[in-house]
């Protein structure tokens, strides 16, 4: 860190990240971050969701992490909760799939069925 401006920029980013975890949001994206999820690649998936949601200014979306979801063989697992809708469970998520989930599901309301637990390959 070389300047006060740089420190202010870091502070603003930290505030945005904390705001994204606000529990008053309409839509909640939950990324499984237990050991099984992390070893399967959940950390970059979480980062991709955080970056995409911030980039698109989706102020109604909360991105959080959780422990083991209980289906280790399907990790990385991401669950999307929206009011008055069924929970959607995405499996074998990678950063590219995460970006597509944000674009299609979170922005346009279209579930990507081929990524879900019943139909993913």
Sheet holding 61-66, edge to edge: 61-66, 27-32, 78-81, 88-90
The per-residue pLDDT for 79 is 97
Banded model confidence at residue 19, pLDDT cuts 50, 70, 90: low
Structural domains of the chain, count: 1
In a domain? residue 61 = yes
CA distance 53 to 45: 12
In a domain? residue 29 = yes
In a domain? residue 4 = no
pLDDT (tens digit per residue) in 34-85: 999 999 999 999 999 999 999 999 989 999 999 999 899 999 999 999 988 9
In a domain? residue 25 = yes
In a domain? residue 13 = no
In a domain? residue 44 = yes
In a domain? residue 12 = no
CATH of the domain at 26: 3.40.30.10
- pLDDT score of 22 more than 70: no
Give 88 or 1, the one with higher predicted confidence.
88
> Could you tell me the residue range of the domain that residue 91 belongs to?
20-115
pTM, two decimal places: 0.79
H or E segment and range at residue 6: helix 4-20
């Amino acid at each position: 860190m070389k300047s006060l401006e740089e420190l202010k920029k870091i502070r603003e980013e930290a505030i945005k990240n904390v705001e994204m975890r606000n529990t008053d949001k309409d839509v909640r994206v939950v990324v499984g971050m237990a050991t099984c999820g992390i070893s399967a690649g959940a950390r970059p998936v979480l980062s991709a969701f955080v970056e995409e949601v911030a980039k698109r200014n989706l102020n109604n979306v909360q991105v959080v992490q959780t422990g083991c979801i209980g289906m280790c063989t399907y990790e990385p697992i991401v669950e999307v909760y929206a009011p008055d809708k069924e929970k959607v469970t995405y499996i074998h998520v990678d950063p590219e799939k995460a970006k597509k989930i944000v674009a299609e599901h979170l922005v346009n309301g279209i579930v990507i069925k081929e990524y879900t637990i019943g139909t993913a390959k």
